[in-house]
Homo-oligomer: A and B are copies of this chain.
Amino acid sequence: MEARTYPEFSTHYPLLLTTFMKRPVSLYPDQVGVVYRNHLSGDYARFTWKQWHRRTSQLAHALQATLGVKAGSPGEPGDRIGTMALNTHRHLELYYAVPCIGATLHPINVRLAPEHVIYTINHAQDKVIFVDDTVLPLLEAIYDRIKDTVETFVYMSDRPGLPDTRIAGMVSYESLLADQPDEFDWPYLHEDTNATLCYTTGTTGQPKGATFTHRQLYLMTLHIMAMPGITNIPGHDIAAGLGVKPGENAVPLLNTPMFHIHGWGAPFLHVFSAQKIVLPGAFTVQGFCELVEREKVTSVGIVPTVAAMLLEYEDLPKYDLSSLERIGVGGGALPLGLKTKLERMMPGFRVSSGYGMTETAPTTIVSFVKKHMVGWERQRLDEVMVKTGLPVPGLEVRVVDEEGQPVPHDDRTVGEILIRGPWVTERYFREPERSAEAWQGGWFHTGDIAKIDADGYIVIADRLKDVIRSGAEMVPTVLLENLISMADFVSEAMVVGVPDPVWGEKPLALVSLRPGHQACAQDVIDFLVEHGVATGKITRWMLPRLVAITRDIPKTSVGKYNKKAVRDQLDRYLAIATNVSSDA
């Protein structure tokens, strides 16, 4: 492929993940680039960039020569390679070797319901699956339902050898690499070659497989890297909102599972930035704290649930977490109460907010401070940073009403978020109808609803399907959840709509309490009246009519509130709910 000449390397110089992979090894071959800690044994493995690149090259040889993996071309994905893996160095090797030979990486979300895991493997037609030892039980459980699709299973473990398993012809990752040449002549692929396939969580039917090309992932990464260039206040900038610290000396912890929408882009961003990457296997609070302390982690992206777990971890004060400068919270709206509590508990913690979805690769909206806000007081800035944010430069984002007209910037009127730009998925894999439906009118329809304030900040109000329609009005449940979570006694809060003969729907709040705290349903309403209604943030008719104090708030596999699960078992939740009144 090196034989290509003028003009293909000029105007059409391809935007490839290969460029990211080559950068750290050329700049810092002998520096440790990848650190992995086994979350069960606590053992560490460290690789210089040269070592990591050598293993990735060996993997590329193995994929082509041993496993017969074929490359794709624009519009025609290459063989799909599934991973059932946690955040390990091997997964990071797969993240580059598979796309950079022109095949498609399919990071399988092992937290989906087994039926959905089976569906995605068969739908993707995965030719090979790479499985971590800790995930093997899941693979064995679903083996009979996928064995006709998958040709080869590759076993990844920190211990040598193969397990005692009924899976036929399993080979070990390390033996696969062992005899391969340690240099690989990476091809200059067409940039529109498919690189990854990421399935949605499928809360509304079967998961959909969003496809991404090299070009799309390159451009998402580059636009995110450009964001420190529009910084206004350090710590309140657009990169901080993602938990990204710029600079080659930053040490990011890849906490978000790499099977979850490209680990929010971290495997691309941090390799191209030549930062030392810290991989925790699976998340544990203890592992998180140990890695931050030992590796001097500077930055991390987490979901609200992880933040809540850290907050409740009793050994937290025993660790030196002072290196941690930036924490981005995504994958769910960040309750202001949770943010305040975290900052109080860990000085140096600066959290902010963002928005994205599988189909957007995911980063699209991030909180950062506009230039005229420089000099504002901390509390006022915090109120800005907890808003979902502003579009990442390079993307077009609109919030439109049911007629497709942009909503006014009045911080009140809600509409659906539409997006287009260089890294929004073009199509769902083998789903032309659902692709066309999502792309009506030249805009990708997110199904999420939001409002916009006078400064242009977008605030996610809800999922379209989660909005409570009470009378002629829409009650944004996320606003209620944020307010409730500000109460000292509250750990988490979810609000869903319950059918009502008069109003159509009425709000039900599920509230979990922080350890050591006591509160009843009426306390929740009293808090909302004092901090919501009295301050003008909500109207009285938005108040929940039903409140259940419970530890049982269902989540999706990625830690988001699972409102569908509540609606599916509504009777169970109504049975523990209390009718409340705001007149008490």
Query: Which A residues fall within an 8 A CB radius of B?
Result: 2-13, 15, 19, 23, 26-28, 31, 192, 213, 215-216, 219, 222-223, 225-232, 239, 246-249, 272-274, 370-372, 374, 390, 393-394, 420-422, 424-427, 435-436, 438-444, 456
Contact = CB atoms under 8 A, between A and B. Distances in A.
A178 to B, nearest CB: 30
A175 B386 CA distance: 48
A273 B229 contact: yes
Contacts of A228: 228-229, 231, 246
B424 A215 contact: no
Contacts of A27: 370, 390, 456
Given A27-B370, A247-B229, A456-B26, A7 B426 contact: yes
A248 B222 contact: no
Contact of A223 (B222, B230, B370): B222
Contact of A371 (B230, B274, B436): B274
Nearest to A437: B6
A420 B9 contact: yes
A272 B393 contact: yes
A22 to B, nearest CB: 9
Contact of A19 (B222, B394, B424): B394
Given A5-B441, A8-B442, 16 more contacts: A3-B442, A6-B435, A6-B438, A7-B427, A9-B439, A10-B439, A11-B426, A225-B226, A225-B229, A229-B239, A230-B273, A231-B247, A232-B249, A249-B371, A249-B374, A272-B393
Given A10-B427, A393-B23, A248 B371 contact: yes
A368 to B, nearest CB: 10
A10 B230 contact: no
6 A-B pairs closest in CB distance: A6-B439, A10-B426, A225-B226, A5-B442, A225-B229, A11-B426
Nearest to A218: B394
Contacts of A427: 7, 10
A230 B248 contact: yes
Contacts of A239: 229
Contact of A15 (B248, B422, B424): B422
Contact of A439 (B3, B5, B23, B246): B5
A549 to B, nearest CB: 44
Q: Which of A7, A230, A371, A420 has the most CB of B within 10 A?
A: A230
Contacts of A425: 10
Contacts of A226: 222, 225-226, 229
A5 B427 CA distance: 12
